[in-house]
């Protein structure tokens, strides 16, 4: 018996209409997809929308994202508080996408599970997720009016699955550290001290935040590390290696470990930098690698991944492969300054109430580039209504001309590439 094509099409359509995928299986498949894709699928049906908002799905998707969907994120500042987020493939170093992060805060913290904290030095802050286009304004601290400026850092407590924001508040003659659990309405003071930190920027490793303490007898050298345990919110101190007591030190994170970069400070042209790994269980340090010559003046270590150390300043990010000595770099686009950089995962965190969706900008609904990622609009400034009498539809606080200019700038820089210019081995690096 013969069938024509029309008959076969009808049979196939009938079979397809009978295909049923259990909802549990649908949830499992969704949890393996990139966050950007799942964000679009939320509008397909009610079940998918509700599934993505379940705390269990958020945790499952985050675990998969750490394995399959990590990227390097660079946040650069623009005029009027607009921020670009550029992402790069951590394996190939190829450009992935560019996003606009709409926030009237000029500072961005290092990413934590796909979250960042955007803030200004006056003390206002909000937690943002560039993938979900949602934000949560943090409560106002009672110390805001008594502080010169404030800085914010996001951490994650694995045992309770809570996100905590730590604020370093600069006050007269001492620093005050406060903590706010994301989703709560208040801050709590955990430390007031006149001890000086070499830099108030926190290094976040697992459930802890770390700062170098300046030695009382020196204006630049450090002998101890201050640790804040985010689980019990208690402080402790860790000694630096004996071999680097007279070196200039900098902390950074790598593969879930605390790393220390030491540079000899004798002024010699033959100075080198050493990388140390902390064994926090045994309160010990292990020497990992030596960089010769040292890390360029004016640049700081940011993070390390798979034996590649990333260092940078406001205008350039450099990647040094410790295994083969390859040096790669990328210059920030003209007119933009690097304000934050780190490993980024496409998550749906945090699973808390109070998150607000962003207002969409019709002038920037899509950017087309080689990776086919859809940056789209991200966040509007907290506290600014999306519409109002006599106001444009999209974002109050930014004229449409500024948004158009920013999107045009993004289109001009979407083809950025990492440039490799040295392959001489770690002991013969030339940074340029």
**What global pTM score does this model have?**
0.80
Is residue 93 a part of any domain in this protein?
no
Domain range for 39 is 22-68
Residue 364 has pLDDT above 80, yes or no: no
Residue 360 lies in a domain: no
Q: Give the DSSP H or E segment for 27.
A: helix 23-32
pLDDT tens-digit readout, 14-59: 555 566 677 778 878 888 888 888 888 877 788 887 888 888 888 8
Contact by Cβ (8 Å): 377, 135: no
Answer whether residue 55 is part of any domain. yes
What is the tally of structural domains in the chain? 1
Give tens-digit pLDDT for 239-281. Answer: 999 888 888 899 999 989 999 998 876 555 567 788 999 998 8
The distance from CA 325 to its chain's CA centroid, rounded to whole angstroms, is: 26
pLDDT tens digits along 105-163: 678 899 999 999 988 877 788 898 888 878 888 999 999 888 888 999 999 999 999 99
The span from the CA of 22 to the CA of 43, in Å, is 19
Cα(44)–Cα(1) distance, integer angstroms: 40
- Candidate from 48-52, 190-194, 220-224, 397-401 with smallest mean pLDDT: 397-401
292, part of any domain: no
Say which range, 97-106, 144-153, 288-297, 324-333, has the weakest mean pLDDT.
Answer: 97-106
Does residue 31 sit within a domain?
yes
Asked if pLDDT for residue 399 goes beyond 80, the answer is: no
| Percent of the chain at pLDDT exceeding 70 | 73
Asked, for residue 200, whether it belongs to a domain, the answer is no
Residue 59 domain-assigned? yes
Task: Residue 191: count other Cβ atoms within 10 Å of its Cβ.
Answer: 18
pLDDT in tens, 224-235: 999 999 999 999
* pLDDT band for position 360 (cuts 50, 70, 90): very low
């Amino acid at each position: 018996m013969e069938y024509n094509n029309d008959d076969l099409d009808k049979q196939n359509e009938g079979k397809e209409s009978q295909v049923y995928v259990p909802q549990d299986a649908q949830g499992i498949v969704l949890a393996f997809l990139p966050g950007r894709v799942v964000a679009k699928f939320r509008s397909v049906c009610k079940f998918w929308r509700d599934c993505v908002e379940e705390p269990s799905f958020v945790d499952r998707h985050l675990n998969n994202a750490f394995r399959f969907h990590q990227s390097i994120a660079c946040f650069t500042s623009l005029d009027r508080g607009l921020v670009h987020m550029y992402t790069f493939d951590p394996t190939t170093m190829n450009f992935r996408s560019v996003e606009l992060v709409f926030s009237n805060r000029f500072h961005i913290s290092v990413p934590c599970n796909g979250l960042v904290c955007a803030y200004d030095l006056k003390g206002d802050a909000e937690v943002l997720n560039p993938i979900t286009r949602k934000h949560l304004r943090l409560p106002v601290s009672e110390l805001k009016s008594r502080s010169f400026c404030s800085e914010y850092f996001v951490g994650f407590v694995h045992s309770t699955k809570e996100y905590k924001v730590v604020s370093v508040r600069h006050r007269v003659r001492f620093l005050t550290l406060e903590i706010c659990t994301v989703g709560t309405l208040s801050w709590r003071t955990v430390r007031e001290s006149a001890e000086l930190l070499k830099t108030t920027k926190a290094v976040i490793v697992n459930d802890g935040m770390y700062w170098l303490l300046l030695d009382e007898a020196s204006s630049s050298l450090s002998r101890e590390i201050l640790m804040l345990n985010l689980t019990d919110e208690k402080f402790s101190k860790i000694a630096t290696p004996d071999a680097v007591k007279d070196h200039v030190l900098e902390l950074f994170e790598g593969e879930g470990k605390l790393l220390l970069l030491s540079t000899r400070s004798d002024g010699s042209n033959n100075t080198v930098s050493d990388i140390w790994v902390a064994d926090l269980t045994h309160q010990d340090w292990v020497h990992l690698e030596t960089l010769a010559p040292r890390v360029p003046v004016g640049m700081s270590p940011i993070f390390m991944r798979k034996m590649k150390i990333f260092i940078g300043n406001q205008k350039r990010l450099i990647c040094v492969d410790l295994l083969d000595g390859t040096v790669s770099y990328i210059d920030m686009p003209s007119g933009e300054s690097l304000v934050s950089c780190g490993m980024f995962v496409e998550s749906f965190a945090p699973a808390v109430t109070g998150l607000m969706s962003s207002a969409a900008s019709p002038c920037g609904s899509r950017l087309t580039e080689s990776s086919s990622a859809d940056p789209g609009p991200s966040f509007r400034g907290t506290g600014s209504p999306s519409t109002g009498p006599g106001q444009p539809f999209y974002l109050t606080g930014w004229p449409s001309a500024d948004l158009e200019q920013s999107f045009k700038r993004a289109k001009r820089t979407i083809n950025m590439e990492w440039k490799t210019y040295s392959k001489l081995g770690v002991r013969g690096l030339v940074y340029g």
